[in-house]
A and B are shown apart, each in its own frame.
Chain A
């Protein structure tokens, strides 16, 4: 069964440094997402991406965050200047063959630790 893959599985970064989290969504999906989950808490929406542009973002997704689909397969989340509170598990997800509200398929996540 096709999967969403994320790399790296764990990223340790000094506060203030830039970090790029990478994702390869399921190949025929058209909607891509980033969510984060602080340890022991609920999954929080960050951003959705469709047709090569951001379609929706949350208040968490401020100017320090950006997303890109640099080629036909990768989908990246960049945090420009990391803060301690950015420490969390970051999940990439993808959905749909063009339809709204389809189930979302999540990757295994990247655990981001900011020191």
Chain B
């Protein structure tokens, strides 16, 4: 079945530094979604990318969808303590049920 993998699993970042987390799918995706889960919280939708090669920005967050629509990345610049949490990418399945297959997540810890 469809698999979605993310690296790194953990990211320790000094406050103010940049980092990137990567997401790879075993199958071509119609779109990719990114969610953020704060410690003890629930996944919160961040963004959806649909087009091949698409790049979207949300303030300090830059999301990219690969040309082959099988990979994606999230780049955060000037990391802040509010960026702490786990970032998941998720891809929809091909069946009608709209299920999302989540990656394992990148858990971000920020050192002040």
Contacts and interface: CB of A to CB of B under 8 A. Distances in A.
A45 B99 contact: yes
B100 A104 contact: yes
Interface in B54-112: 88, 90, 92-93, 95-105
A105 B100 CA distance: 12
Contact of B102 (A42, A57, A100, A107): A42
Contact of A31 (B33, B90, B98): B98
B33 A103 contact: yes
Contact of B41 (A56, A58, A108): A108
A56 B1 CA distance: 14
Consensus secondary structure, chain B interface: loop
B6 to A, nearest CB: 9
Nearest to A58: B99
Contact of A45 (B48, B96, B100, B104): B100
B99 A33 contact: yes
A11 B86 CA distance: 24
Interface size for chain A: under 10, 10 to 19, 20 to 34, or 35 or more residues?
20 to 34
A33 B68 CA distance: 28
B105 A101 contact: no
Contacts of A104: 33, 45, 98, 100
Interface in A66-115: 91, 95-96, 100-109
Interface of A: 31, 33, 35, 41-45, 48, 50, 54-58, 91, 95-96, 100-109
List of 10 A-B pairs having minimum Cβ-Cβ separation, nearest first: A56-B97, A48-B97, A55-B97, A103-B45, A106-B42, A43-B102, A45-B99, A42-B104, A42-B102, A101-B92
16 contacts: A31-B98, A33-B98, A33-B100, A42-B88, A43-B90, A45-B100, A48-B99, A50-B96, A54-B97, A55-B98, A91-B43, A100-B92, A103-B45, A104-B33, A106-B42, A106-B43
